[in-house]
Amino acid sequence: MWFLVALLVISAVLLGSEFIKIIDESSVGLIKMLTYFLFYIVVTIEIIKQVWQAKKINKNVIFGLISGYISLGLIGFFICLSIEMAFPNSFSGLIEGISITENLMYYSYITLLTIGYGDILPVSALAHKAAILIGLMGQIYLVVLTAIVVGKYINQTTIKNE
């Protein structure tokens, strides 16, 4: 709870500083991105924890499972965006006319889903490692967490039928 309160305070300070123009725009953008990144990490961990600890499988757990996967894609997006901000041109094939955030959001989900069309490529060593991490996060989530939920559901229906 205190972490979320701290994020709220940081967001309020940033909003106030935009009106006063105390901090330059690049610093504000970087702090905003970091705040969103930390927020989605906390939310994703909480979703995964609640799905993992669920005793009874119902529609809320299934929606939580889906939400966790979507949140992992957002975390992958923030990883890629951080790399691109720190080391420009770490990804090739970004489409002109489409914002970098849209390009990297697309790349993150295509990598998380292990589709890998190959239209956007990681070209730096750090971007390569991020692609591996995002792909592994997607596969581990699908294999482990989905298997746990399916196992709990099977146990739940078996116990109910006995």
Average pLDDT over residues 49-75: 92
Given a contact cutoff of 8 angstroms between Cβ atoms, the answer to whether 31 and 82 are in contact is no
Q: Please write the tens of the pLDDT for every residue from 92-126.
A: 999 999 999 999 999 999 999 999 999 999 999 99
What are the contacts of 127-132 at 24+ separation with CB within 8 A? 127/80, 127/83, 127/87, 127/90, 127/91, 130/76, 130/79, 130/80, 130/83
The dihedral region occupied by 87, where left means phi > 0, alpha psi between -120 and 50, and beta the remainder, is: beta
Name residues whose C-beta falls within 8 Å of residue 88's C-beta, 6 or more positions apart in sequence: none
Cα diameter, the chain: 67
| Confidence at 162, pLDDT banded by 50, 70, 90 | low
Cα gap 59→9, rounded to integer Å: 34
Top mean-pLDDT range of 28-32, 38-42, 113-117: 113-117
Look over the chain and give the mean of its residue pLDDT values, rounded to a whole number: 86
- Residue 3, pLDDT score: 64
* CA–CA gap between residue 62 and residue 51 (Å, rounded): 8
Pick the closest to residue 117 from 102, 127, 126, 106 (CA basis): 106
Mean pLDDT score, 51-79: 92
- Would you call 57 exposed, middle or buried from its count of C-beta atoms within 10 A (0-12, 13-18, 19+)? buried
Question: Would the pLDDT of 32 be above 60?
Answer: yes
